[in-house]
Structure 1
Amino acid sequence: MLSHTKEAADLTSSIATNDGAQIFYRDWGAKSAQPIVFHHGWPLSSDDWDNQMLFFLSKGYRVIAHDRRGHGRSSQAIDGQDMDHYAADVAALASHLDLRNAIHIGHSTGGGEAARYVARFGHGRVARLVLIGAVPPLMVKTKTNPGGLPIEVFDGLRQQLAASRSRFYLEFASGPFYGYNRPDAKPSQAVIWNWWRQGMMGSAKAHYECIKAFSETDFSDDLKTITVPTLILHGSEDQIVPVADSAPLSAKLLKHSVLKIYDGLPHGLCTTHADIVNADILKFISA
């Protein structure tokens, strides 16, 4: 059941980073409970984890989710739209809340953020890691990553965002993100509008620059240094982060990983198939 004790942590708050960015976060549950930190995807906010936060709160965990700088209710920071700053912001939050024995769960861009945080700042603070539809090891096509997506794909995202962010976000949520462009799909207008709402809360500049961060950052060295048990979940029909050049490659680089690929599931599987994802995460973190 949901916690209503005096020990329960603050519902919402914010912290200031060293470079002056204000990072909004939600912190639910008893402070003595094992913490789960959720890292959201681009260009969303911590609201994208509502289902998971309520579910794991009901299982007795302390659940924490932040809005990445330039996203959601965090400040529209002028600078710092890169994975180093994103991970440092998480480190500042973890230090502020004194999080230890934490489980970090990242979806899409948030998977890259979580991996970099765990690799560079998580020693002694992290128990497990979960990557869902995550961008590591590297999304863009290079000589050493021939299976990646051409840079023109990401240039196209930038062009559409600059031309009409509102239209672009509506079409993105209505189509490939949740697999609603598939012939047998049953689109949910409520889900589409919630995605659009979250995206429009943030900074267009931050979102534009974040495309480079999630597509061109190589997380290979981060993955090689991570020693905590890691669960990798990915949909076979992911149209945003194609599975062939992501999840299996990450599993090979990690020291202790479990890989599960869901047949037919889309990129936004945490929303479209939350019951399946939640059950598998709970099984992994409870083991």
Structure 2
Amino acid sequence: MSYVTTQDGTEIFYKDWGPKDAQPIVFHHGWPLSSDDWDAQMLFFLANGFRVVAHDRRGHGRSAQVPTGHDMDHYASDAAAVTDHLNLKNAVHIGHSTGGGEVARYVAQHGIPKGRVAKAVLVASVPPIMLKTDRYPGGLTIDVFDGFRSALSANRAQFFRDVASGPFYGFNRPEAKVSDAVVDNWWRQGMTGSALAHYAGIKAFSETDQTDDLKAMTVPTLVMQGDDDQIVPYKNAAVLQAELLPDATLKVYPGYSHGMLTVNADVLNADLLAFIRS
């Protein structure tokens, strides 16, 4: 198992597969999951000749369950510790959900200044901000996120089961084909991490205004989201991202859920490959 130690002493687990001289693709996972959520993408791109890298966010998966640093600044600096350690250049950074916020902060504040990033992809991602504010009145009210915190504190295991079996993959829709294995894998990843990191992470993914990060992402960026995303409403995320990014391509998938990278991997992987090779 491979780890890198950050400046504040946190051990971050990472995977690094494929030829070291191939173009790297770096994957950033969503809340409250781990790098395992990228299995379908890492195997696909490995088979297509890329070097694929993914890490577990601090407090998630196999990374250290530290009590502090559960915010976008630390998420991005931890990602930078991995990319610096591996000396990744000309990399494509792909982030899902909270991982999209991590990508935006990393690319804007670390990747572009160090000349390490070629392209970026935001998939069903949280920027510019999920919370309703004066600047973004279409966001969700604070009581939604307070509800997340209450449910997690009361019974994290049940809360995670409810999210995975319900809105995350759209399994609560009448026509949905529910996969118990997908639900179990989501629950497994979530329960491996720290309850404290997950609790604190709710504030990080919902209340961080990343408008400036998006404006600073001058590399070509693909924005992907389903229009039946029940976690991150696409009009308050993908559409705004495309407006704020200097060089954006927006692709909205009719009927797709927040977890489309897993349940619609065949479609998403092909589109990701086309963008990266373009």
TM-score, normalization by structure 1: 0.96
Q: Which amino acid in 1 is paired with 2:191? A: M
Separation in 1, partners of 2:80, 2:225: 26
Counterpart AA for 2:269? N
Q: Find out whether 1:260 has 2:255 as its counterpart.
A: no
Q: Residue 105 of structure 1 corresponds to which residue in structure 2?
A: 94
1:286 maps to which residue? 277
Q: Within the alignment, does 1:75 sit opposite 2:48 as a pair?
A: no
Q: Spell out, residue by residue over 1:175-233, the C-alpha distance to the aligned partner (whole angstroms, 9 max, x if none).
A: 00000000111110000000000000000000000000000001100010111000000
2:92 aligns to what SS in structure 1?
strand
Instruction: Measure, in 2, the Cα distance between the counterparts of 1:14 and 1:234.
Output: 31
Residue type matched to 1:82 in 2? D
* Offset from partner CA, 1:230-249 (integer Å, 9 cap, x none): 00000000000001100010
Match for residue 197 of structure 1 among 182, 188, 192: 188
Tell me by how many angstroms 1:143 deviates.
1.2
Question: 1-side partners of 2:159 and 2:257: how far apart?
Answer: 19
Question: 1:18 offset after TM fit, Å?
Answer: 0.9
Q: CA deviation at 1:281?
A: 0.4
**Aligned equivalent of 1:223, options 206, 214, 220:** 214
Following the alignment from structure 2 to structure 1, what is the Cα–Cα distance between the partners of residues 45 and 187? 25
Partner of 2:28: 39
- 1:94 shift after superposition: 0.7
SS of aligned partner of 2:14 = strand
Alignment of 1:29-178 (within 5 A): 29-123=18-112, 124-178=115-169
Query: What aligned pairs does 1:237-276 form with structure 2 within 5 A after superposition?
Result: 237-276=228-267
Alpha-carbon offset, residue 120 of structure 1: 0.2
Partner Cα distance (2:93, 2:7) in 1: 22
SS in 1 for 2:54: strand
Deviations 1:259-286 (A, max 9, x none): 0000000000000100000000000000
Partner Cα separation in structure 1 for residue 161 and residue 62 of structure 2: 20
**Residue 15 of structure 1: aligned partner:** 4
CA distance in 2, matches of 1:92, 1:191: 31
Q: Post-superposition shift, 1:20? A: 1.1
- Any stretches of 5+ residues in structure 2 without a counterpart? none
Gaps of 5+ in 1: 1-11
SS in structure 1 opposite 2:267?
helix
Cα shift at 1:144: 1.2
| Alpha-carbon distance in structure 2 between the residues aligned to 1:183 and 1:51 | 26
TM superposition score normalised by structure 2: 0.99
CA distance in 2, matches of 1:76, 1:280: 35
Identity %: 64
**AA matched with 1:72:** G
Query: How many residue pairs align between the two structures?
Result: 276
Question: Which whole-Å CA distance do the structure 2 matches of 1:171 and 1:250 have between them?
Answer: 29
